[in-house]
């Protein structure tokens, strides 16, 4: 019987990527590093199609870890094609009739990322906003270029950022999280590093992330790295999952019955100023 190679599928994906795929994935560093690249520049919108493809990749990684006799992957590096990491989630998919499925799928993806058995290094250039920042916050270490801008502008549209409401306090503390969630402002890289949102600023953040991987992760035991990551997150995933359920309830059954939330989304799509009632 032919020996099963759980890593072969990534090599096939690299050799023959789907023309319409919003992602590029491949293995490098002697198959110890899985690369995932958002590939719908320049906006790299986190829409339903992007979420589905990301979920597939993380499912494959989980399967590879479970089935390989000795897994090789020590980390995942997530970055984006083009000048910007991501402008955020699809605004159209936040409207009533679509937002329930959108939130369910996106939040399931973020829990997948938090549950993956290897650290996720995130490389950020340009704008990293809304759902893009929520995606990045599910990673381990964030590496950003000096011109990067990071923010949660949902409040400007009259809505909230459910995942960021759960993840930002864990990364930067409650006060800094509320600043971003209530103001909707963007941080430059220097301020983001100062409050702990990102870990490294570099002119070439991809090279910096690769150096971190080669220096600190590549030579370690893959099994030991996995156990160390699991240990550091004991209790954390359950806490995030529980809060996500509660915030989804708030979003779907209270916020989306509010005039201003629908008005803000429609005003953005119609390129006009919102007319708030409250």
In a domain, 213, yes or no: no
In a domain, 68, yes or no: yes
In a domain, 255, yes or no: yes
In a domain, 1, yes or no: no
In a domain, 217, yes or no: no
Domain of 134, in residue numbers: 8-205+222-269
Read off the pTM: 0.91
Give pLDDT tens digits for 3-50: 434 444 434 444 334 557 899 999 999 999 999 999 999 999 999 999
In a domain, 211, yes or no: no
In a domain, 152, yes or no: yes
Contacts of the segment 146-149: beta carbons below 8 A, 24+ positions apart: 146/189, 146/190, 146/201, 146/203, 147/188, 147/189, 148/85, 148/124, 148/188, 148/189, 148/192, 148/198, 148/201, 148/205, 149/186, 149/187, 149/188, 149/189
Residue 64: predicted pLDDT: 72
Query: How many structural domains is the chain composed of?
Result: 1
Give pLDDT tens digits for 209-244: 999 999 999 999 999 999 999 999 999 999 999 999
CATH at residue 187: 3.90.226.10
Q: Are 23 and 66 in contact (CB under 8 A)?
A: no
Q: For the sheet with 149-151, list strands across it.
A: 127-129, 149-151, 186-188
Q: Where is average pLDDT lowest: 2-6, 141-145, 203-207, 220-224?
A: 2-6
Q: What is the DSSP string of the chain?
A: -PPP-TTHHHHHHHHS--TT-SEEEEEETTTTEEEEEE-STTT--B-HHHHHHHHHHHHHHHHHHHH-SS----EEEEEESSS-SB--B-SGGGSTTTHHHHHHHHHHHHHHHHH-SS-EEEEE-SEEETHHHHHHHTSSEEEE-TT-EEE-GGGGGT---HHHHHHHHHHH-HHHHHHHHHH-PEEEHHHHHHTTS-SEE-SSHHHHHHHHIIIIITTS-HHHHHHHHHHHTTTHHHHHHHHHHHHHHHHHHTGGGSHHHHHHHHHHHTTS------
In a domain, 210, yes or no: no
200, two tokens: 């490294």
């Amino acid at each position: 019987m032919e020996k099963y190679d759980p890593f072969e599928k990534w090599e096939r994906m690299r050799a023959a990527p789907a023309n319409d795929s919003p992602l590029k994935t491949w293995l490098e560093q002697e198959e110890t590093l899985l690369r995932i690249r958002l590939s719908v520049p320049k906006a790299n919108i986190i829409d339903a199609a992007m979420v589905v493809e990301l979920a597939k990749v993380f499912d494959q990684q989980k399967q590879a870890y479970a089935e390989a006799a000795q897994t090789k992957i020590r980390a995942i590096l997530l970055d984006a094609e083009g000048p910007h990491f991501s402008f955020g989630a699809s605004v159209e998919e936040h409207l009533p009739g679509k937002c329930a499925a959108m939130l369910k799928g996106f939040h399931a993806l973020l829990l997948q990322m938090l549950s993956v058995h290897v650290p996720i290094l995130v490389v950020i250039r340009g704008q990293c906003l809304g759902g893009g920042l929520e995606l990045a916050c599910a990673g381990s270490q964030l590496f950003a270029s000096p011109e990067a801008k990071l923010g949660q502008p949902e409040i400007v549209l009259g809505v909230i950022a459910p995942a960021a409401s759960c993840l930002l306090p864990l990364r930067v503390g409650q006060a800094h999280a509320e600043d971003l969630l209530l103001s909707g402002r963007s941080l430059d890289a220097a301020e983001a590093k100062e409050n702990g949102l990102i870990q490294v600023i570099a002119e070439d953040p991809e090279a910096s992330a690769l150096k971190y991987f080669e220096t600190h992760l590549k030579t370690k035991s893959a099994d030991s790295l996995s156990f160390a990551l699991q240990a550091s997150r004991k209790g954390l995933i359950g806490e995030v999952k529980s809060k996500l359920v509660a915030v989804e309830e708030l979003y779907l059954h209270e916020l989306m019955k509010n005039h201003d939330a629908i008005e803000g989304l429609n005003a953005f799509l119609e390129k006009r100023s919102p007319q708030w009632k409250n």
